[in-house]
Structure 1
Amino acid sequence: MVAEDVATGRFGRPVTTRFPPEPNGFPHIGHVKSICLNFGLAREFGGRVHLRFDDTNPLTEDMKYVEAMKADVRWLGFEWDAELYASDYFERLYEFAELLVTKGKAYVDSQNEEQIREGRGTVTTPGTDSPFRNRSVEENLDLLRRMKAGEFPDGSHVLRAKIDMAHPNMIMRDPLLLRIRHAEHYRRGTEWCLYPLYDFAHGLSDAIEGITRSLCTLEFKDSRDIYDWLVREVGFEQNPPTQIEFARLELDYTVLSKRKLLRLVNEGHVSGWDDPRMPTIAGIRRRGVTPEALRNFADAIGVARKPARTELATFEHYVRDDLNMRVPRVMGVLDPLKVVLTNYPEGQVEELEAPSYPHDVPLEGSRLVPFSRELWIERDDFMEDPPKKFFRLAPGREVRLRYAYFITCQEVVKDESGRVIELRCTYDPATRGGDAPDGRKVQGTIHWVSAARALDAEVRLYDRLFSQPDPDDVPEGQDFTAALNPQSLVVVKGAKVEPSVASDPPGTRYQFERTGYFVSDTVDSKPGAPVFNRTVTLRDTWAKVKDR
């Protein structure tokens, strides 16, 4: 559609799109789809894109949300041509309001909120006229100016468009345009006490800015009538903006309602807007996802008219696909079990070279990992009485230590409760690098870290915030919080990580071999005390749960 506009010169001006967030919360993954669409179209057709904050509600808006939005758009890789605010148009919007009153197209209604709502009627029954609908132009102008001057309390009057109380689109049944709110605006202070409703400000702001295509999600489809009516009635008749609706992103195991996200924060279900379990861009970034992965995901799901849920596994696929090709491999042990190599010289430490990237990644590099007499392995990599298909370490069994040597378990040491606390093994010095010169094979390869040189770390295993695909599908009498996943965060203390990561800055991403993708936390990591957040597992572990 945009390509056709350009080819025909329909608007007589460059393609101009806008991303119009309300600054009342942190942007989330649903906004990513809109950001990529609006900025992508402008970039594709050599046009302009406006970042416009629709800040018409002083009770919920804050500059911190503006700054978060700007930072997230830039982090995604986009830059805007103009930074604009609906609050900059308050004077112009008020002039439009007086124009509508003068034309007999708007009136001041003195009913309360409940009366106005009841008067709108229902989908099957028409509304009823307000008793104040036929006030004279002079009386309406007088009241409107006194509303602007602050003479009346909140809720005493509103300005309504005068359209049709029997209109089949209920939004067109004399919608509210301006309301009184004696509240301080985060940008305009106490300069105004008469604030435009979203539907009044939104379409007219597009027209003021010369937007060509107004791209929005399907819930605004019915609002198109009032946008077009307002734009036409105030005089923007020459090639006004045209609204196009598309299906919003609905992602499994996730909520994207800002009201619900605010509840998660305020009620302490998460640690904040940037909690790595949150679908906010700030949370996703802190979890270690890259902007490229988000853009690839947005491109893949595309733009459609028909609403549909997107599987979280699809998003995780693009995260894994991106990280696999860019992050170095390191070894980390989350549940350490000590291994003592009884035939390895005491006090000796050797440096073994290990590749940082696998052969199928177009990056090169290696790191040195220290090897010593005492090692840590994953507790799950040992079983005293293993089943038939367990190919890792067991009494009398030989396995390969990745990039190191073959070892054989000779003795199992337990504490008084019978818990295994140490394995005593021997190593074959002829198998340095992980291969046997005599050609013998082993079925298991496990990762490890040197006990003498390992870094102690906290590892946070983040998982899906909700335990079911649709968090709103809960029994009657409960709300979405009943579907919260109690295992969405498991904190592992005392994990052991190879020392090659010690000098890396917070925010560095890795693949912990055989475990998953991780990032050093940008908030809580400290020198000598790293904290690692799991970005995503190596494969979709929930698929097995779903298949059971």
Structure 2
Amino acid sequence: MSKNETVKPTNFIHQIIEQDLQEQRHDRVVTRFPPEPNGYLHIGHAKSICLNFGTAVKYAGECNLRFDDTNPEKESQEYIDSIIEDVRWLGFEWAGEVRYTSDYFQQLYDWAVHLIQQGLAYVDHLSAEEMRQYRGTLTEPGKNSPYRERSVEENLALFEQMKSGDLPEGSCSLRAKIDMAAANINLRDPVIYRIRHAHHHQTGNDWCIYPSYDFAHGQSDAIEGVTHSICTLEFEDHRPLYEWLIQNLPVPCVPKQYEFSRLELNYTVTSKRKLKQLVDEQHVSGWNDPRMPTISGLRRRGYTPAAIRQFCDMIGVTRSNGVVDVAMLEAAIREDLDANSPRAMCVLRPLKITLTNYVEGEEEWFELPAHPKDDSLGSRRVSFGRHILIEQEDFEEVAPKKWKRLATGEAVRLRGAYVIRCEEVIKNAEGEVVELLCTYDPATKGANPEGYKANGVIHWVNAERSLPCEVRLYDRLFSVADPEADKTRTFLDYLNPESLVTLTEARAEPGLAAVAAGDKFQFERMGYFCVDSDSRPERLVFNRTVTLRDSWAKIQGQ
């Protein structure tokens, strides 16, 4: 964006940026996305990604991808790789190389020394429990540590011992010297360095002291020239510390922090700790289980980057906390898949039909549109023969009122083929319907003759040509809107036992033989599905992304 060009602001952060640019506080906008590599990204992170990267795009600026890797015991390369993949998959690219807070460890250490030299930091030997006791409460001030008035020389020597590995973990920490009576507890001499004798995934064993998030965050922003440090509302109380550190250190620039409300979805948990518990305790198959709210889970389930970006636009950016209905996310993916997914027929729970007046061994091929509204997607060919399969739920021996499917003595149209009539029902010894004997009407090929009445339209596949496949019907992972509301129980008590139903006898039309993992389809009348990474040519596997319409409200009686 040129300096004279005006971009219409779309949220309060963009309004701030617009004013900053108009008043020439910055030459260009620089944002950053700084995830901790201690888990996989989830849908809440998608909102932050879209805001930070989208803002940089909107104002022709830059957005950095920086890993806040200050806690090596909980971090791994696996998480780093997954985050990089997720950001790219969502359609964004960062400025320059991937950055790490660990890239700045030496500079951060030097700035910690600077604080000590200015009498603004000290080495404290209080234990974590003692520190909590000294900190005070929201209504009572804290009290000074007995180590607070150490000399600069003593603090420098002790900090060097911490750095050299001469002191054990937990024996001491470096604290900023601010105000133990401050109303904001974050200003009551916060810890800015602690000892961790842990191998670091980027720096190896070079360091055994690591900066706190609060110390590293603002200074890393300053090193990178970030102009607008955008984070969620839980960091609002940390902003005074962010600003105190920036003001008291010789940083190269002065970034400003702005907070927005985080994304909270119903029927979901987004705490990394709880998501990790779901994985570790094998309540799900992994971080990319399609029931998980992780970006990799949504991707595997069949969600698209466009749908997630559209969802983030729909919910907007505000400072008001609230819970977003997951139905909005489902509506976004339905809209995208409806417009872009080719159609196919797949029978999930097959019921065999024999057309008694169709010649055994004869076969026809029908050409059907790949999409009813988009000719550019072309057409597909489906096979028809004497033996076909329909959904079990599309047949009733005695048709209920307003029944629009197949019933004994009734006629129904097979999508794109013929009208058939059920003449006889065959049952097994347990009384279960196992086959229908039907007749087809050759005069109804492709369309009904004038005045001809068929009782609805159903999908089908050729029993002999269709492809065997496994279909995984995914639904919401939790059975209640807020699985964390009841403090007398755990969120695990509300896991939805129907969140995954696996169907192993499904059959799909033959044109799907060449599908690849990630391919998406609307299975006519059944919902939107994608090919799972487990799929193989000899055994296709499809995941249900979302139903054709929101049936959850009906299920819950809403």
Normalising by structure 1, report the TM-score.
0.98
Q: Which moved more, 1:437-446 or 1:406-415?
A: 437-446
- Aligned mate of 1:139, from 147, 154, 157: 154
In the alignment, is the contact (CA less than 8 A) between 2:406 and 2:455 conserved in 1? no
Distance 1:38 1:438 in 2: 59
Distance 1:42 1:338 in 2: 57
The answer for unaligned runs of 5 or more in structure 1 is none
Tell whether 2:386 aligns with 1:373: yes
Secondary structure, aligned partner of 1:339: strand
Distance 1:386 1:371 in 2: 26
Distance 1:209 1:261 in 2: 31
Alpha-carbon offset, residue 545 of structure 1: 2.2
Alpha-carbon offset, residue 362 of structure 1: 6.3
Letter in 2 for 1:26: Y
Secondary structure, aligned partner of 1:32: helix
Secondary structure, aligned partner of 2:543: strand
Partner in structure 2 of residue 496 of structure 1: 507
Q: 1:272 to 1:17 in 2, by over 3 A?
A: same
Partner in structure 2 of residue 257 of structure 1: 271
Partner in structure 2 of residue 68 of structure 1: 82
Partner in structure 2 of residue 462 of structure 1: 474
Partner in structure 2 of residue 356 of structure 1: 370
Letter in 1 for 2:272: K
Alpha-carbon offset, residue 239 of structure 1: 5.5
Secondary structure, aligned partner of 2:340: coil
Secondary structure, aligned partner of 1:73: helix
Distance 1:363 1:471 in 2: 44
Partner in structure 2 of residue 338 of structure 1: 352
Q: Deviations over 1:50-96 (max 9, x none)?
A: 10001000100111111111111111111101321100111001101
Partner in structure 2 of residue 188 of structure 1: 203
Letter in 1 for 2:492: T
Letter in 2 for 1:380: E
Secondary structure, aligned partner of 1:52: strand
Partner in structure 1 of residue 517 of structure 2: 506
Distance 2:430 2:415 in 1: 31
- Aligned mate of 1:405, from 418, 442, 446: 418
Distance 2:187 2:318 in 1: 26
- Aligned mate of 1:7, from 22, 30, 33: 22
Q: Deviations over 1:462-521 (max 9, x none)?
A: 000011111102351x21111111110000011011011001212110000000000010
Partner in structure 1 of residue 401 of structure 2: 388
Secondary structure, aligned partner of 2:73: coil
In the alignment, is the contact (CA less than 8 A) between 1:474 and 1:483 conserved in 2? no
- Aligned mate of 1:285, from 277, 285, 299: 299
Tell whether 2:538 aligns with 1:521: no
Tell whether 2:174 aligns with 1:159: yes
Tell whether 2:498 aligns with 1:484: no
In the alignment, is the contact (CA less than 8 A) between 2:411 and 2:420 conserved in 1? yes
Letter in 2 for 1:505: A
Distance 1:546 1:388 in 2: 24
Alpha-carbon offset, residue 440 of structure 1: 1.1
Distance 1:226 1:425 in 2: 77
Alpha-carbon offset, residue 443 of structure 1: 2.9
Alpha-carbon offset, residue 436 of structure 1: 2.2
- Aligned mate of 1:55, from 61, 69, 78: 69
Tell whether 2:545 aligns with 1:538: no
Letter in 1 for 2:153: E
Q: Deviations over 1:31-53 (max 9, x none)?
A: 11011111111111111111000
Distance 1:415 1:546 in 2: 35
- Aligned mate of 2:445, from 429, 432, 448: 432
Distance 1:164 1:505 in 2: 61
Q: Deviations over 1:128-154 (max 9, x none)?
A: 110100111111011000110000000
In the alignment, is the contact (CA less than 8 A) between 1:247 and 1:304 conserved in 2? yes
Alpha-carbon offset, residue 437 of structure 1: 2.0
Partner in structure 2 of residue 300 of structure 1: 314
In the alignment, is the contact (CA less than 8 A) between 1:474 and 1:482 conserved in 2? no
In the alignment, is the contact (CA less than 8 A) between 1:376 and 1:449 conserved in 2? yes
Q: Deviations over 1:433-471 (max 9, x none)?
A: 1x2224312231111000010101000000000111111
Secondary structure, aligned partner of 2:372: coil
Distance 2:143 2:505 in 1: 69
Partner in structure 1 of residue 142 of structure 2: 127
In the alignment, is the contact (CA less than 8 A) between 2:410 and 2:455 conserved in 1? no
Alignment of 1:162-173 (within 5 A): 162-173=177-188
Q: 1:362 to 1:474 in 2, by over 3 A?
A: farther
Q: How many residues align?
A: 542
The answer for unaligned runs of 5 or more in structure 2 is 1-15
Tell whether 2:102 aligns with 1:87: yes
Partner in structure 2 of residue 326 of structure 1: 340
Secondary structure, aligned partner of 1:261: helix
Distance 1:293 1:217 in 2: 22
Alpha-carbon offset, residue 299 of structure 1: 1.0
Tell whether 2:247 aligns with 1:235: no
Q: Deviations over 1:277-328 (max 9, x none)?
A: 0111110000011111111111111100000100010000000000000011
Distance 1:67 1:104 in 2: 41
Letter in 2 for 1:481: L
In the alignment, is the contact (CA less than 8 A) between 1:402 and 1:446 conserved in 2? yes
Partner in structure 1 of residue 557 of structure 2: 547
Letter in 2 for 1:455: L
**Structure 1 vs Structure 2: percent identity of aligned residues?**
55
In the alignment, is the contact (CA less than 8 A) between 1:349 and 1:372 conserved in 2? yes
Moved over 6 A (4+): none
Tell whether 2:220 aligns with 1:205: yes
In the alignment, is the contact (CA less than 8 A) between 2:223 and 2:253 conserved in 1? no
Distance 1:209 1:306 in 2: 29
In the alignment, is the contact (CA less than 8 A) between 2:424 and 2:437 conserved in 1? yes
Letter in 1 for 2:457: T
Distance 1:172 1:6 in 2: 32
Distance 1:46 1:451 in 2: 56
Distance 2:125 2:516 in 1: 60
Query: RMSD over aligned Cα, in angstroms?
Result: 1.0
